[in-house]
Amino acid sequence: MFATRFAPSPTGYLHMGHAFSAWTAFEAAQAAHGRFVLRIEDTDQTRCRPEYEAAIYEDLAWLGLEWEKPVRRQSAHMDDYGAALARLHEMGVLYRCFRTRKDLLDGLAAAPHGFSAPDIVAPISAAEEEDLLAQNKPYAWRLSLSRARARLGAEWEHLGFEANGIWIKAEPERLGDIVLARKEFPASYHLASVLDDGLQAITHVIRGEDLAEAAHIHVVLQALLGLPTPVYHHHRLILDAQGKRFAKRNQSVTLRSLRESGTSLDQIRARLGLSVA
Ligand code: GLU
């Protein structure tokens, strides 16, 4: 059965870009007589706030959306991500990376909007690793592409996905050895999101094109974890009057401020280029 999801992180109030994404996914589910799932991606408890989560439910209801209950809140399922990480560890496809905490935080829990150069860190020697562990140095778990490739064998050559109606051969090297977890933090966005899409039987991932690159590594995780690869649809990004992407820090364009200032749903839909009843 067709199933899609909207998976916001409660790190700020929802804005026009979220409205576009949520409506696009919701209407696709309706057209297919399928399921629409709302998932709260709140693994990073340092950035997520309960008032933002409450606002998500309120704002989406205002948009006229209905979603399956109960809502999966990732922070309540950290053990699941820990178990998936342990499985990958047993497969031998992870290695510890001891770069500084600041380096590690970049691109960990937050969805990686905007990707930098491929990040491949050579695994260090066993002796060096032992030494750093003895010093209690913080580390991250990275997915080794070379080991994943060896593990998947012939399957590696066929990894790919359908995005916007086109078959795309996966090029995980574009992202490199991504960080999947950190010593005291068992789940990156990549791991939690891929696992949950599988657990929630999501057949169609509909999200902004800023996350299009992520699919190249998500298919590797799906293959390793024995999960099916969904169909992807990466939609255009909604830009503000200055031609910039809406950012959560720009409070003036939140859905709640639009609602409070009396903007109607039809006005928002028209601004987003969506059909108005
Ligand atoms: N939680 C992510 C975000 O708020 C979205 C992840 C996804 O759709 O794959 O940007």
In tens, the pLDDT along 41-50 reads 999 888 999 9
Could you tell me the distance, in angstroms and rounded to a whole number, from the CA of residue 107 to the centre of ligand 1? 13
At 19 the pLDDT is 96
Read off the pLDDT band of 138 (50, 70, 90): confident
Could you tell me the distance, in angstroms and rounded to a whole number, from the CA of residue 129 to the centre of ligand 1? 33
At 173 the pLDDT is 92
Model confidence pLDDT, tens digit, residues 84-126: 999 999 999 999 988 765 654 555 555 555 555 556 666 788 8
Are residues 183 and 138 in contact, defined by beta-carbon separation less than 8 angstroms? yes
Could you tell me the distance, in angstroms and rounded to a whole number, from the CA of residue 99 to the centre of ligand 1? 26
Q: Is the CB of 37 under 6 A from ligand 1?
A: no
Mean pLDDT computed over every residue of the chain: 90
Could you tell me the distance, in angstroms and rounded to a whole number, from the CA of residue 119 to the centre of ligand 1? 21
DSSP state for residue 236 in the 8-state scheme: P
Between 241 and 160, where is the model more confident? 160
Are residues 91 and 226 in contact, defined by beta-carbon separation less than 8 angstroms? no
Q: How far apart are CA 255 and CA 16, in angstroms?
A: 7
Q: Which residues contact 201 (CB under 8 A, 6 or more apart)?
A: 1, 3, 35
Q: Which of 57-71, 85-99, 130-144, 178-192 has the lowest mean pLDDT?
A: 178-192
At 106 the pLDDT is 56
Are residues 218 and 243 in contact, defined by beta-carbon separation less than 8 angstroms? no
Q: Pick from 200, 208, 209: which is nearest to 230 by CA?
A: 200
Q: Which residues contact 115 (CB under 8 A, 6 or more apart)?
A: 174, 175, 213
Alpha helices in 2-45 (DSSP H): 16-31
Read off the pLDDT band of 168 (50, 70, 90): very high
Global pTM value: 0.91
At 185 the pLDDT is 80
Atom of ligand 1 nearest to the CA of 6: 8
Q: How far apart are CA 10 and CA 1, in angstroms?
A: 28
User: Hey, which of 207, 210, 249 would you mutate to test ligand 1's pocket, going by the most ligand atoms within 8 Å of its Cβ?
Assistant: 207
At 255 the pLDDT is 96
Q: Is the CB of 8 under 6 A from ligand 1?
A: yes
Q: Describe the strand order of the beta sheet including 94-97 as a list of residue ranges.
A: 94-97, 140-143, 179-182
Read off the pLDDT band of 277 (50, 70, 90): confident
Given the structure tokens 């709640």, which residue do they identify? Answer: 256
Given the structure tokens 């439910």, which residue do they identify? Answer: 57
